Structure 1
Amino acid sequence: MSTTATVTSPVSEREQLSLHATAVSEEKKPEEEYRYKHLLPHFSEDHYPPLEPFEHVDPAFRALKLANPRAFLDSARSVSEITPHLGTEVRGVNLARLDSSGRDQLALEVARRGLVVFRDQQEFIDNGPDFYLEWGRHFGRLHIHPTSGHPKGYPQLHLVYRDASTSFNFERDDSITTILWHSDVSYELQPPGLTTFFLLTAPPSGGDTLFTSQVAALKKLSSQFVAFLKTLKAVHSGVEQANFSRAGRRGGTVRREPVENVHPVVRKHPVTGEEALYVNRQFTRRIVGLKREESDAILNLLYDHIDKSADVQARAKWEPYTVVLWDNRITAHSANVDFRHLPYARHGARITPQAERPIPALEGLDLSA
């Protein structure tokens, strides 16, 4: 890895501003120092070589061998389904205190439910970035995002940040909606599996994260069409995201050259065996072997299906000290920037372990381009 001079964080001149989610007052008041100032976005000019393949063993496999693979929930005050297809909300379990076996069980629960929302996790959030890295490494190799901001000295932590006048997110301003379904960095050869995300600052309302079950979405399609989809593979690309930053937006940094990789249109979860759609508007570009019009017709049909299937979607609302975990292999999600016209900040951190290369639902599918 070669390193060049580090640039100053684009938010350094704003660090004396209060980033609490409160309305901007017309009166001058003493401002408190921001509690999570050390986790504000920093954009270094470090450069990284291409990612190397690695062997991933999902910790959920260990939980499958336990007599009670949900024992980590025994102390919960409440465990409730958010929707039948997707999502569970848990209160009374302290994630920061889970031992190795508890984390294995958590991985299995997230694989089965797709999305698990934990409330009252102040200890987890306040444990800080060294703890975040230790937590994430239990679930896989930590991904370093090629373009996003990170806390200074912690490139493995992906940050989202927007306030009344600034955004360091990958957003499309020329759309009538802020909703853009995606699976995180699906352009990587080995995209993420279990992912952890939490907000440090949130608007008083809005800024929710939307999720959809790619398992349930697949099951809604006809068996004949699904059989055809299983024969297909698609290119996922990070080029647009890199060009967005090269144009001077989001901090203007590209630390690793963008890649494109081929993944099955329908993938199989290695632990549960469930099959799921694996395409998304943000990063999927074309179906290999089809003519442009054919590829566009199929992908647009699937994108529209994902967009409109509200009956397999769930919404995570950001109460204070909420930690959300999801499985990127079987879900898609979107931020909801419905607060962008208001003077509030939304500042979050994502811990993103990579998993295996997507396994085709059709055994023997050739994933070469």
Structure 2
Amino acid sequence: MAPSIAESFAVEVVVPAKVNPQVSVNKPKVRRIIEEEGGKSTATYPQYLPVWDHSEKYPPLEPFTHIDHGKDADPSFKDLLPAESQIKKLTPTIGSEVTGVQLSKLTAAGKDQLALLVAQRKVVAFRDQDFADLPIQEALDFGGYFGRHHIHPTSGAPEGYPEIHLVHRNNNAWEYDEYLAAKNSSVSWHSDVTYEQQPPGTTFLYLLDGPEVGGDTIFVNQVEAYNRLSPAIKERLHGLKAVHSGFEQAENSLKRGGVDRRDPVKNEHPIVRTHPVTGEKALFVNGGFTRSIVGLKTEESDALLGFLLAHVGRGIDYQARIRWAPKTVVIWDNRVTAHSAIIDWTTGERRHLARITPQAERPFETPYVPEGDKLSA
């Protein structure tokens, strides 16, 4: 498969920094969007504008024991969805929208139920939230309940808060034309940073600024994508592993004058992953970071991986499109979904979002069970 740079470009596209020849090469280079906007910004939340500090370097991530709070959650959701709240499904298999709940006020029991609901529905949009108005550390404290914070190796972050991954694009007309110069669309399916040994689980993204229309995010249900396969293909996929690589993302960042805060890594993960709470099996491949299938020759790997990625991308009957609105927080389970930003507005508005990315367990698979055995069990 040809290397994809999905997350580098579809998730975060920023105008290249202007080089100041008067800056000494011996001084750490810090790029701040607010300085590039003249010290004042039209951003609603300027404290969230991206900063890249070239002096920041982090050691390799160490393994840790992840506790999934959804395992012991009350399936009645009584602490998450009170009587005055409303929840509606966006599609039969993926996506829900919730109103009447303030996430920042949830008890521990409510947070546990949130993890379970997101595992079941794959992606849930919560409207009318105060996340963006909280002190950044309070938002991080909330997200930290669900796992160890991931610090992205290449993306911009609010100054002093490297755990926040920022999505930021002004979408000037020339930038839009440049982005689509070599592409027919902005579709770039990926699951976040799956090259890590322990990729994210319950993941949070909240809107700071966005266009009036456009800039939606689309999600695909990787459990249903697995379910749609024939028994023969399912059985063949079990036991196979794929290589997930962060090297291309790091290289693209450096080519654009960006940062690389941590040495890039590759990891092998099972192609069929089991969710620790629901027990569901899901495809765990994505166009952003999955490079090859272990043990197969190049032509074989390309053919099988190409089929799986095309199968995921064209599955409109197990996809959900989330429309962003002010004060929206979208939460998804990165273990059983893939997603793509949609770059479709040319009106110049800023698209600015913040992501909190708790890591989860190392991907694992459980044995294949033939269809007949399931029925007799």
Structure 1 residue 359: Cα displacement: 1.1
Q: SS of the residue aligned with 1:73?
A: coil
- In 2: Cα distance, 1:101 partner to 1:355 partner: 19
Q: Which structure 2 residues correspond to residues 302-313 of structure 1 after superposition, within 5 A?
A: 302-313=308-319
User: 2:53 aligned to 41, 44, 62, which one?
Assistant: 44
Report how far residue 76 of structure 1 moved.
Answer: 4.1
How far apart are residue 10 of structure 1 and its match?
Answer: 4.2
**Alpha carbons of 1:274 and 1:67: their partners in 2 closer, same or farther (altered >3 Å)?**
closer
1:96-107 aligned at under 5 Å gives the runs 96-107=104-115
- Matches of 2:150 and 2:216 in 1, distance apart? 24
Shift of 1:225: 0.4
**Alignment-mate amino acid for residue 50 of structure 2:** P
Equivalent residues of 2:79, 2:109 under 8 A apart = no
Runs of 4+ in structure 1 displaced over 6 angstroms?
A: none
Residue 207 of structure 1 aligns with an amino acid whose one-letter code is G
Q: Distance in 2 between matches of 1:293 and 1:362?
A: 27
Is the 1:70–1:109 Cα contact (8 Å) retained in structure 2?
Answer: no
Q: Is the 8 A contact 1:15 1:37 kept in 2?
A: no
Match of 1:35 among 40, 44, 50: 44
**Alignment partner of 1:316 is 2:322:** yes
Residues 218-272 of structure 1 show CA distances to partners (whole Å, capped at 9, x for unaligned) of 11110110111112100000011001111025xx110101100000000000111
Match of 2:334 in 1: 328
- The answer to whether the Cα contact below 8 Å between 1:210 and 1:335 also exists between their aligned partners in 2 is yes
Mapping 1:1-369, distance limit 5 Å: 5=28, 7-14=30-37, 16=39, 18-19=41-42, 34-45=43-54, 46-63=56-73, 66=74, 68-121=76-129, 123-165=130-172, 174-248=182-256, 252-339=258-345, 341-362=346-367
**Taking structure 1 as reference, are residues 325 and 172 closer, same or farther at Cα in structure 2, changes over 3 Å only?**
farther
Cα drift, residue 16 of structure 1: 4.7
Amino acid at match of 1:159: L
CA contact (8 A) 2:284 2:335 kept: yes
- Name the SS for the 2:112 alignment partner: helix
Aligned to 1:24: none
1:152-172, CA deviations, whole angstroms, 9 ceiling, x for partnerless residues?
0000000000003498xxx88
- Following superposition, the deviation at residue 15 of structure 1 comes to 5.2
TM-score, length of structure 1 as denominator length: 0.88
In the TM superposition, what whole-angstrom CA distance separates every residue of 1:87-113 from its partner, at most 9, and x where no partner exists? 111010011111111111100110111
> Which secondary structure state, in structure 2, belongs to the residue aligned with residue 72 of structure 1?
coil
Deviation track 1:304-341 (CA, whole Å, cap 9, x = no partner) reads 111110000000001111100000001110000111x3
CA contact (8 A) 1:75 1:93 kept: no
Counterpart of 1:5 in 2: which secondary structure?
Answer: coil
**C-alpha separation in 1, matches of 2:299 and 2:78:** 47
Residue 25 of structure 1 aligns with which residue?
none
For normalisation by structure 2, the TM-score amounts to: 0.86
Distance 2:57 2:221 in 1: 35
Secondary structure at the aligned position of 2:223 is classed as helix
For residues 173 and 153 of structure 1, the distance between their equivalents in structure 2, rounded to whole angstroms, comes to 35
1:239 is matched by which residue type in structure 2? F
CA pair 296-141 structure 1, distance change in 2 beyond 3 A: same
Aligned-pair Cα RMSD in Å:
1.8
User: Residues 234 and 85 (structure 1 numbering): CA distance in 2 closer, same or farther, change over 3 Å?
Assistant: same
Q: Does the 8 Å contact 1:158/1:349 carry over to 2?
A: yes
The superposition leaves residues 40-95 of structure 1 with CA deviations (integer Å, 9 ceiling, x where unpaired) of 000012001110000001011231xx373443102443210010000111010011
Q: Give structure 2 stretches of 5+ with no counterpart.
A: 1-26, 369-377
**Superposed displacement of residue 173, structure 1:** 6.0
In the TM superposition, residue 174 of structure 1 has moved relative to its aligned partner by 2.7
